[in-house]
Amino acid sequence: MFPDEDDQSWDDIARTATAMPGGGGLTAMAAYGLNKLLGWRAPKPGPDDTDGVRLIHASDLQSWSRFPRCQDADTVTLGQYRARMYELKQVRKRVRKLVRARQRIAVLDTDETVRYHTEVQRVPRSLLRRQARIGLEHQRIPGTWLESAEGQVSMSPSGDTVTAQTGWRKRLVAVRSMGPSRVVHAEELARLRDQLAAATDAQRRDLDEVYSSRYRQPVLFVSHRWESFDHPDPDGSQLRRLRALRDCWLIYDYTSFPQLPRTPAEEELFQQILYVMPELISRAVILSAPDYLTRGWLVFEYLVASLTADIVCDEVSGPDFVGLRDWVASRPPMAGNPLRDGYESNISNVINGKILAAVDQILPVYRNARFRDEHDSTRVTGMLTEILKARLAPHKEAQPGMGEWATSDWTDEELAPAFRGPVSSASKRSTMTKPFLTSVPATLAEAADQGYRVSSMTLAQQANPFQLAGRPRKADGGPVAP
């Protein structure tokens, strides 16, 4: 998915951000703008340790009866995918205006009911209670209608009116103009379609390539159990389950990573892949198995995906892992605002403590998970510690009389015991802070229907520290206990 393909317009961002109290919205706008700039100015991809990883396209699964061994698979590599995706981005830049016009048409050309105008009229005062008919000034779009909770509307060719009851007190009546989106935005839709119709043949070819290319589709990492020592899916049951996926690429280790027996060059590539494995665990699919949480590398993959809150389908839905993912997703995404540094810093410390407590909850599962050898266990623990270090916000410590909070980074010594024993945290208990409840599909079909989106906070929640950690509600509407 391109960085700016589904982002809000700058007008929407400005309206949202400036509504935030205390100026935090301006910080959000700056962070968002920098993000966008970096995305637009992304350099051409160079050599990478993971370039040799082979990818599987979801359409391949329909014709396969069994996953092929990596060395026997004639598929695209991750390096080739990145190069083609970069080329596709350059094509998209050439027709950016047409892409946006097409996206805007897709949003507006629906039967969804929208409100496009609200007119407020003053009800005449009267000592006697009576019905007063008030003429409306706004010219209603043909094919739309009026609604009002304070009076009864009447629509006619000669003019629309609202009838409301008078009284001696001052009273206002609001009338909302409603209609199908495609009717309300008919003029804009016509202008956008004219813009697309005026495109040159070269622009149309570029636009078709942007929307039809496989290289605009995301890469998913499949975390799954090996069913036998020689082949992870000897009877093809996992392959048949994964056929529910569409319009995506997959990393599935047996077909993606060099398998035994390996040549010296293949062994070197395999070791490189192992050391950068966390970089590959993105948009993870957690494929359930009865003993999933007893396998060391599977627990590692689940932990990495939870520590990065980067899961698109979770068939296991382990409560402790879900809790960790929710608190990681609640992490403040930007620097504190000087006007309310104390509040944001306290929230940051609380969330750090919650993340460490969630890791402590998972420790028994991690300790009991089986690895092939001690070397694998040591390597995995080191990688997990580095990820935890990267995901925790810096320490925040109040400075008496200074008005600011001092910031310090986590050290290796502090976090080295994280996956060997509990890590103490100085964070305070907060009854105001609740985790952001990530919404992750539990089935592959649902993940495909949702376009493999990663659950994250909205821009408004990121910009406003009072919403950084969402306040969830129970099904009955009551508050969740802290």
Q: Check if the beta carbon of residue 271 is closer than 8 Å to that of residue 50.
A: no
- Please give the pLDDT value at position 383: 92
Determine the Cα–Cα distance for residues 285 and 280; give it in Å rounded to an integer: 12
**CA atoms in the 13 A half-sphere facing the CB of 281:** 26
> Minimum mean pLDDT among 48-52, 101-105, 136-140: which range?
48-52
At residue 9 the predicted structure's pLDDT band, cuts being 50, 70 and 90, is very low
Q: What is 84-150 written as a DSSP string?
A: HHHHHHHHHHHTHHHHHHHHHHHHHSS--EEEEEEEEEEEPB-SS--EEEEE--S-PPTT-EEE-SS
Determine the Cα–Cα distance for residues 7 and 195; give it in Å rounded to an integer: 21
- Please give the pLDDT value at position 325: 96
Q: Check if the beta carbon of residue 293 is closer than 8 Å to that of residue 365.
A: yes
At residue 477 the predicted structure's pLDDT band, cuts being 50, 70 and 90, is very low
Determine the Cα–Cα distance for residues 444 and 311; give it in Å rounded to an integer: 12
Residue type, 419: F
Determine the Cα–Cα distance for residues 74 and 447; give it in Å rounded to an integer: 27
Q: Is 460 a residue whose pLDDT tops 90?
A: no
CA distances from 245 to 238, 248, 301, 451 (A): 12, 7, 20, 10
- Average of per-residue pLDDT across 293-314: 96
CA distances from 1 to 38, 208, 220 (A): 15, 16, 12
pLDDT cut 70: percent of the chain above it? 80
pLDDT, one tens digit per residue, over 220-257 is 999 999 999 999 999 999 999 999 999 999 999 999 99
How does DSSP classify residue 152? E
- Average of per-residue pLDDT across 119-144: 93
Determine the Cα–Cα distance for residues 143 and 125; give it in Å rounded to an integer: 33
- Please give the pLDDT value at position 463: 64
pLDDT cut 90: percent of the chain above it? 62
Q: Is 356 a residue whose pLDDT tops 60?
A: yes
- Please give the pLDDT value at position 398: 74
- Record the pTM: 0.81
**CA 59 from centroid of its chain's CA atoms:** 24
Determine the Cα–Cα distance for residues 222 and 402; give it in Å rounded to an integer: 49
- Please give the pLDDT value at position 466: 56
H-run or E-run covering 238: helix 237-242
At residue 100 the predicted structure's pLDDT band, cuts being 50, 70 and 90, is very high
Pick the residue with more confidence: 324 or 371? Answer: 324
At residue 34 the predicted structure's pLDDT band, cuts being 50, 70 and 90, is low
> Minimum mean pLDDT among 85-89, 116-120, 208-212, 369-373: which range?
369-373
- Average of per-residue pLDDT across 196-221: 97
Determine the Cα–Cα distance for residues 475 and 410; give it in Å rounded to an integer: 38
**Can you say whether the dihedral through the CA atoms of 211, 212, 218, 224 is positive or negative?**
positive
pLDDT, one tens digit per residue, over 198-207 is 999 999 999 9
- Average of per-residue pLDDT across 117-125: 95
- Average of per-residue pLDDT across 342-348: 75
What is the dihedral angle through the alpha carbons of 405, 307, 33, 2, rounded to the nearest 10 degrees? 180
Pick the residue with more confidence: 135 or 40? Answer: 135
Q: Is 45 a residue whose pLDDT tops 60?
A: yes
Q: Check if the beta carbon of residue 144 is closer than 8 Å to that of residue 183.
A: yes
User: Could you count the other beta carbons within 10 Å of the beta carbon of residue 296?
Assistant: 17
**What residues does each domain of the chain span?**
1-43, 49-95+215-467, 113-184
- Please give the pLDDT value at position 234: 97
